Amino acid sequence: MNMYTKVANNGVNTEFLLGAREALTEAPGGAQFKWRATCDWVNGTHSSSEVEGFYGLGDEQQHKTCFRFNADHPGVFSAQDNGATPVEYVLVGLASCLTAGVAAVAQHRNVQLHSVRATIEGDMDIQGILGIDADVRNGYQGIRIKFEIDADASPEDIEAIVAQSQKRSAVFDIIANPTQISVTIQ
């Protein structure tokens, strides 16, 4: 039996994150980020969005490449299906945020992950967006996420990691809590 202490490696640089946490506690100005995207209409419900620059750590920042995303509606809506629907991008955002969080929290707790899969499903009554019933909201009535996780940890520890990931998740907060949105026309 090996008696050395195993160090988990999930590919997350938690030392960097903890260092950043300490540095930004001292200099909260650097913690102010602005995330951005641009969206161009292509045709019909098809649009093309780009994500490249953002602001943070007191300066303009760039992704290493410009990321492009096509959004459209599927054929059942008589559209061209050139990309995922915007509401599916929301699911992608939530699932990827929580999955990244699971990796980071597991790393911090020295838990080795072998596989993580999140399956996410949202319920939507499209009577809302079609304006059929004013009592039905446009957005999701509810979202369910199922995690399948293979890791060197007890079921309770895995539950605690998933719970902590939700607690620290930006997208979870964005969806679960109200956010002010202002729209202007130039």
Partner 1 sequence: MNTNQSGGVITTVTTVVIGAGQAGLATSYELQQQGVDHVVLERGEVANSWCHERWDSLRLLTPRWQTVLPGYRYQGDDPDGFMDKAELVGLLRRYGEQNRAPVHTQTTVSGVYPKGGGYRVVSERGEWHCRSLVLATGAFNKPHIPACSAAIPIHIRQLSAMDYRNPSQLASGGVLIVGASATGLQLARELQQAGHRVTIAAGEHVRMPRRYRGRDIFWWMDACGLLDKSLQEVDNIARVRQLPSAQLVGSTDNAELDFNSLTAGGAQLVGRLMAVNKGVAQFSGSLHNICKMADLKMNRLLSTIDQWIARNDMEEDMPAAQRFEPTRLPDAPQLSLDLRRQDISNVIWATGFRPDYSWLHVPVLNRKGQLQHDGGIVAAPGLYAMGLPFMRRHKSSFIYGVNDDAREISGHLVDYLRASGTDQEAGNLRPVACIC
DSSP codes of every residue in 87-143: HHHHHHHHHHHHHHHHHHHHHHTT--EEEEEEEEEEE--TTTTTTS-TTS-SS-SEE
Q: Which of residues 91-150 bind partner 1 (CB under 8 A)?
A: 141-142
* Identity of the residue, 11 or 155, whose beta carbon is nearer to partner 1 in the bound complex: 155
- Count of residues that interact with partner 1, criterion CB under 8 A: 16
Q: Which two tokens stand for residue 184?
A: 């202007």
CB atoms within 10 A of CB 128: 17
Query: Binding marks (x or -) toward partner 1, 17..46, rule CB under 8 A?
Result: -----------x------------------
Contact 39, 52 (CB under 8 A): no
Query: Binding marks (x or -) toward partner 1, 157..186, rule CB under 8 A?
Result: --xx--xx-xx----xx-xxxx--------
Where do contacts with partner 1 occur on this chain (CB under 8 A)?
28, 141-142, 156, 159-160, 163-164, 166-167, 172-173, 175-178
